[in-house]
Amino acid sequence: MAEPDNASVEAEALDTYRRLLDTRGRIESGELPWSALMDFFTDDAVFMDPAWGRTEGKEDLVDFFDRSMAGLEDWTFPEEFTVVSGHRVVSMWWNRLPGSRSDGTPLQSPGVSILHYAGEGRFSYELDLLNMAEIGELFAESGWTAPATLNFPPRNPNRDPTPPRHAGP
């Protein structure tokens, strides 16, 4: 069977990512748990989070999605833009806290995700990048305090960003 051309892979990857965003919106509204994102990842996917580090495989990812987002229920993550190139999806989004600054602008900090599309409506890799120092400054500026339900990341997370072998270049 011939490999699909880049245009069809890109269209499929973008469609899958848009469906992931729709699901993320349902999660942010409280309709679904964060673990619902697992529907968009392969069973052996790798997820790299700047605070939690590397998480691999379905069972650990399901736990990670729910544990890492507990206590952040009042945050939203609006998408700014998405770029697709071959099997890669690059997304710029916001970590948005409730409320706004005195000038009316949102209390937010940028984040970037790089995903590898594995086909069949699933991603095999995600690397999230954000400036944790800026997030800390945002906490101070906003007065946001962590609720009792917040889970803290491991003290020494695995920071190996190597994609799974099948993730391609």
- Ordered alpha helix ranges (H), 29-166: 58-69, 132-142
Q: What φ, ψ does residue 120 adopt, rounded to 5°? A: 55, 35
Over residues 64-99, the pLDDT tens digits come to 999 999 999 999 999 999 999 999 999 999 999 999
Output the pTM of the full model.
0.92
- Nearest to 136, CA basis, from 124, 127, 144: 144
Over residues 38-48, the pLDDT tens digits come to 999 999 999 99
- Nearest to 89, CA basis, from 163, 17, 166: 17
Q: Give the bridge partners for 116, in sequence order.
A: 88, 125
Write the CA distances from 59 to 18, 37, 43, 108, integer angstroms: 24, 13, 8, 31
Neighbours of 126 (CB within 10 A): 23
Over residues 10-42, the pLDDT tens digits come to 999 999 999 999 999 999 999 999 999 999 999
Burial 83-119 (b: 16+ CB within 10 A, else e): ebeebbbebebbbbbeeeeeeeeebbbebebbbbbbe
- Nearest to 76, CA basis, from 62, 94, 64: 94
* Domains of the chain as residue ranges with CATH: 13-152 (3.10.450.50)
Residue linked to tokens 């544990």: 67
- Nearest to 165, CA basis, from 126, 112, 125: 125
